[in-house]
Amino acid sequence: MNKDIAQTFQISEYTVKHHLTRIYDKLGVNNRVELAMFAINHDLIKQLADKP
């Protein structure tokens, strides 16, 4: 996944990993799953079940 993001934004995989690590630290999460749950719990994204 980091490789795809890096290619899309024309940056290195290391840069993607670095930014994700900083985001995780600031939000107090450890991985993408926890990040997604944080976003759902803070109404930043809607759960699929909420869609009509």
Domain annotation covers residue 9: no
- Rounded Cα–Cα distance for residues 33 and 2 (Å): 15
Least confident of 5-14, 27-36, 39-48: 39-48
Is 5 contained in some domain? no
Residue 31 in domain: yes
26 in a structural domain: yes
Phi-psi label, residue 5: left if phi above 0, alpha if psi -120 to 50, beta otherwise: alpha
Confidence check: pLDDT of 31 > 80: yes
- Residues 6 or more apart whose CB falls under 8 angstroms from that of 50 comprise none
Find the angle CA(11)-CA(16)-CA(18) to the nearest 5 degrees: 125
Total domains in the fold of the chain:
1
Structural domain for 40, as ranges: 21-52
Taking residues 8-21, report their average pLDDT. 98
Q: The pTM is what? A: 0.78
Residue 35 domain flag: yes
Token couple for 3: 């490789």
Percent of the chain with pLDDT over 90: 81
Residue pair 24/31 in contact by the 8 Å Cβ criterion: yes
